[in-house]
């Protein structure tokens, strides 16, 4: 079974998901605006992230939000679903969010995600 | 003029003859943010306004019947030198969403702890396909905008007000 990452980047007009896989560590950079146009893309992408995290037996996935200017509640919910899935999986992994302190909504929204699964989620920045 | 109401610092009214297109929410809210940013002089306050307006407008887009809807925004200076912001929407919810909208708004207003209520909504939303009320709960917990609402016939008038400084 290949240990290479099978997760393409996705880039729409206003929203992008860009994976980085190095030395067995997966990081996904989310950029642009997570609004109604991004919901389906994001939901599908997080499903793929989970599949790869399980296939590669990863201990952690990093989500870099520092280039994400805004995220609506539907995109927020996509992360809720993902985190809930990981929390209840047989073998879970950690999800680490990197935030920009100047984007104040990130601190508040991601703290709420952290409370959903404190054993899974951490927030930095 | 003595007794005359002061004009708002920023006032924006947008109306749509039919349910508004989804694609207008982000640019409209971004424009609102840019209009108010110089007055707030506080990026955090501006960000909370943007979140409030965005979530409310997306709800209007998602749940409105094919009838007129309105958004009204005002930013005023109070006598004490603080800022007062009002975000108001008026729309006709689809018949199948009307009861749910009323119940969710009532539950939010009645919640003694917005963060506890928010955490509960978040946990529930993981298992619901749609319509979890997450947007409203997010406004309530992540901003200082406090919501009120009433039905006027079939129309739902809801408004959120906040003070800064």
pLDDT tens-digit map of B110-122? 888 889 999 999 9
CA dist B122 and B139 (Å) reads 13
CA distance B133 to chain A (A): 9
B165 pLDDT more than 70: no
Percent of chain B exceeding pLDDT 90 equals 41
Higher-pLDDT residue of A55 and B61 is A55
CA dist A73 and A75 (Å) reads 5
Kindly state the tokens that stand for B144.
């200082």
A116, B134: Cβ pair inside 8 Å? no
Strands (E), B22-119: 69-77, 83-91
Q: What is the pLDDT of residue B3?
A: 43
Residues from chain B that touch A72, judged by Cβ atoms under 8 A, are 54-55, 58, 135
- Which among B48, B61, B132 has CB closest to A77? B132
Tell me the torsion sign for CA atoms B94, B95, B101, B102: positive
Q: Which residue of B has its CA nearest to A43?
A: B129
CB within 8 Å of chain B, chain A residues 52-111:
70, 72-74, 76-77, 80-81, 83-84, 102-105, 108-109
Percent of chain A exceeding pLDDT 70 equals 99
A116, B138: Cβ pair inside 8 Å? no
Contacts of A115 (CB under 8 A, 6+ apart): B119, B122
The residue whose two tokens read 């296939």 is: A55
CA dist B79 to B1, B11, B153, Å? 16, 18, 35
pTM confidence score:
0.93
When pLDDT is averaged across residues B36-61 and rounded to a whole number, the result is 91
Q: Which residue of A has its CA nearest to B136?
A: A73
Q: What is the pLDDT of residue B78?
A: 86
Got the DSSP string for A82-96?
Answer: HHHHHHTSSS--EEE
Tens digits of per-residue pLDDT, B148-157? 888 888 888 8
Give all strands of the β-sheet with A10-11 in edge-to-edge order: A10-11, A15-22, A25-34, A60-71, A94-98, A121-124
When pLDDT is averaged across residues A49-71 and rounded to a whole number, the result is 97
A103, B51: Cβ pair inside 8 Å? no
Q: Which residue of B has its CA nearest to A84?
A: B126
B1 pLDDT more than 50: no
What single-letter DSSP state applies at residue B49? H
When pLDDT is averaged across residues B55-77 and rounded to a whole number, the result is 89
Nearest of B84, B76, B73, B56 to residue B156 by alpha carbon: B56
A80, B25: Cβ pair inside 8 Å? no
């Amino acid at each position: 079974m290949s240990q290479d990452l099978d997760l393409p980047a996705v880039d729409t007009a206003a929203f992008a998901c860009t994976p980085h896989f190095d030395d067995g560590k997966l990081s996904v950079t989310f950029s642009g605006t997570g609004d109604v146009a991004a919901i389906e893309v994001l939901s599908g992408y997080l499903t793929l992230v989970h599949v790869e995290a399980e296939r590669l037996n990863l201990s952690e996935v990093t989500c870099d939000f520092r280039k994400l200017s805004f995220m609506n509640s539907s995109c927020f919910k996509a992360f809720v679903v993902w985190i809930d899935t990981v929390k209840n999986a047989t073998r879970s992994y950690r999800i680490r969010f990197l935030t920009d302190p100047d984007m104040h909504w990130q601190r508040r929204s991601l703290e709420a995600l952290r409370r959903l699964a404190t054993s899974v989620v951490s927030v930095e920045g | 003029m003595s007794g005359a109401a002061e004009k708002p610092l920023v006032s924006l009214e947008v109306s749509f003859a039919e349910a508004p297109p989804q694609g207008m929410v982000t640019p409209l809210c971004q424009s609102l943010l840019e209009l108010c940013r110089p007055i707030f002089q506080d990026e955090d306050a501006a960000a909370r306004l943007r979140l409030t307006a965005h979530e409310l407008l997306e709800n209007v887009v998602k749940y409105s019947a094919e009838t007129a809807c309105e958004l009204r925004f005002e930013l005023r200076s109070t006598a004490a030198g603080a800022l007062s912001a009002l975000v108001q929407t008026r729309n006709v919810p689809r018949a199948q969403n009307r009861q749910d909208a009323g119940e969710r708004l009532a539950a939010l207003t009645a919640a003694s702890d917005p963060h506890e209520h928010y955490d509960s909504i978040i946990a529930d939303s993981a298992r619901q396909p749609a319509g979890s009320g997450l947007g409203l709960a997010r406004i309530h917990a992540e901003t200082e905008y406090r919501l009120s609402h009433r039905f006027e016939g079939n129309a739902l008038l809801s408004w959120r007000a906040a003070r800064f400084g």
